[in-house]
Structure 1
Amino acid sequence: MFPPGHYGMALALYAVVGALVLRRGYVRDALSGGAIVLAYTLFPDVDGKLEFVVHRGVTHTLWFAAAVGLFCVLVVASDLRGRSGRSAVAGACWAFFLGSFAVVAHLAADLLNPWGVMPFYPVTPALYSLDVVRATNPAANYAMLAGGLCIGATAWTLAHPAGARASLAVRLYRRLRGEVAVAE
């Protein structure tokens, strides 16, 4: 798939996770987690910029998903040092999950086209493909993006905690209109 299709698939799949995190009351973690998944979902296509790596080879495997997860743990490692043991482990697990989830979402989108993916390469060269749509189909890519946005917005609406504060934009709008006092 092209970037819009990958973003749509990542949004659609992360909507489930984000809704569960939102339901627990972790609004900031749900939003930042979604941003991280979107930021890393195109990472497997780095192979297109490297001459010595075959496209849809090693970067389109579950091993690469684990490597990206470990990379995300290393990125947040300095922040985790100041936390208690349990909190640091939870933060490391969350970072690993988000990084590897982004790559798995990418693989799921590539699974839809005839070229498929080899998720267990080099252990087995088995190719998996659902052969639903060609990756070069712009209508399919933008339909996936629109679908992902709709699923994400629906998940946000259904899972957002009732007692949560209004967003900054909404609070500023209300303040400018004089509907709310300064200390909301």
Structure 2
Amino acid sequence: MHKSGHTGGYLLVWTAISFLFLLPQGLFRVSVIGYILGIPLVMVPDEDQSFPLATHRGFSHTFWFALIFGAIFFIIGLKMSPTLAAIGASIPPVYLFFIGFVIIITHIFLDSHTPMGVKPLAPVSEKQYSGDISSNSKLWNWLFYVIGIVGTIVAIYYYFFVGI
């Protein structure tokens, strides 16, 4: 998948999580932060292509990387908690862990539908998950992008104007 496909896929997943779980619990701030962090960071796993010794769709496309990424968000949340609380913008670090984890898992899930596939549990399991959607498919990348944006707009409209 390209950036447009991953962004749209993330929007779709995060909108569903926000609408079904976060917003009904009054966690509006967590929902918004998930959008703010997720959209620019959804391509982090593909940064493995920037490192000559790294294998594309290697460690950065595993469940373990998602846990580490979430843990980094958790630690940053712990360190920033006093500052955020002082300005009235606190968010429990566990939610930041969840956001970081979902960002990476969404990327991996989308890549699991391409012919190259992923091995999300490597090195514990070498089972590869793959599908038939070409990473370069303009149709699929734009379809995910448009559906993600439209789904997000519909959810925002429903939240603010219709109510949950």
If the TM-score is normalised by the length of the shorter chain, which range does it land in? 0.7 to 0.9
**What is the CA–CA distance in structure 2 between the aligned matches of 1:6 and 1:116, rounded to whole Å?**
14
> Where does residue 79 of structure 2 map in the other structure?
78
Residue 159 and residue 109 in structure 1: after superposition, are their counterparts in 2 closer, same or farther (change >3 A)? same
Give the partner amino acid of 2:40. Answer: A
- Pair 1:25 & 2:19 matched: no
> Where does residue 153 of structure 1 map in the other structure?
153
Compute the TM-score of the two structures, normalised by the length of structure 1: 0.78
Maintained 8 Å contact 2:30/2:95: no
Q: CA deviation at 1:45?
A: 0.6
**What is the CA–CA distance in structure 2 between the aligned matches of 1:39 and 1:72, rounded to whole Å?**
14
**What is the CA–CA distance in structure 2 between the aligned matches of 1:161 and 1:111, rounded to whole Å?**
36
Between the two proteins, the alignment pairs up a number of residues equal to: 157
**What is the CA–CA distance in structure 2 between the aligned matches of 1:157 and 1:130, rounded to whole Å?**
34
Q: What's the % identity of the aligned pairs?
A: 25
Q: CA deviation at 1:140?
A: 1.3
**What is the CA–CA distance in structure 2 between the aligned matches of 1:147 and 1:71, rounded to whole Å?**
30
Q: Could you list the runs of 4 or more consecutive aligned residues of structure 1 that deviate by over 6 angstroms after TM superposition?
A: none
- Pair 1:140 & 2:134 matched: no
**Over alpha carbons, which structure has the higher Rg?**
1
**What is the CA–CA distance in structure 2 between the aligned matches of 1:124 and 1:53, rounded to whole Å?**
19
**What is the CA–CA distance in structure 1 between the aligned matches of 2:106 and 2:125, rounded to whole Å?**
21
- For the aligned residue pairs, the C-alpha RMSD in angstroms reads 2.0
> Where does residue 13 of structure 1 map in the other structure?
13
Q: CA deviation at 1:117?
A: 0.8
Compute the TM-score of the two structures, normalised by the length of structure 2: 0.87
**1:77-133 C-alpha deviation (Å, 9 max, x unpaired):** 2222576xxxx8x711101000010000101111121111100011111100132x1
Maintained 8 Å contact 1:23/1:159: no
Maintained 8 Å contact 1:23/1:160: no
Runs of 5+ unmatched residues, structure 2: none
Give the partner amino acid of 1:158. Answer: Y
Q: SS at 1:56's partner residue? A: coil
> Where does residue 105 of structure 2 map in the other structure?
104
**What is the CA–CA distance in structure 2 between the aligned matches of 1:125 and 1:29, rounded to whole Å?**
34
Q: CA deviation at 1:24?
A: 3.0
Q: SS at 2:92's partner residue? A: helix
Maintained 8 Å contact 1:113/1:130: yes
**What is the CA–CA distance in structure 1 between the aligned matches of 2:101 and 2:120, rounded to whole Å?**
13
Residue 161 and residue 30 in structure 1: after superposition, are their counterparts in 2 closer, same or farther (change >3 A)? farther
Give the partner amino acid of 1:16. Answer: A
**What is the CA–CA distance in structure 1 between the aligned matches of 2:152 and 2:71, rounded to whole Å?**
26
Q: CA deviation at 1:64?
A: 0.2
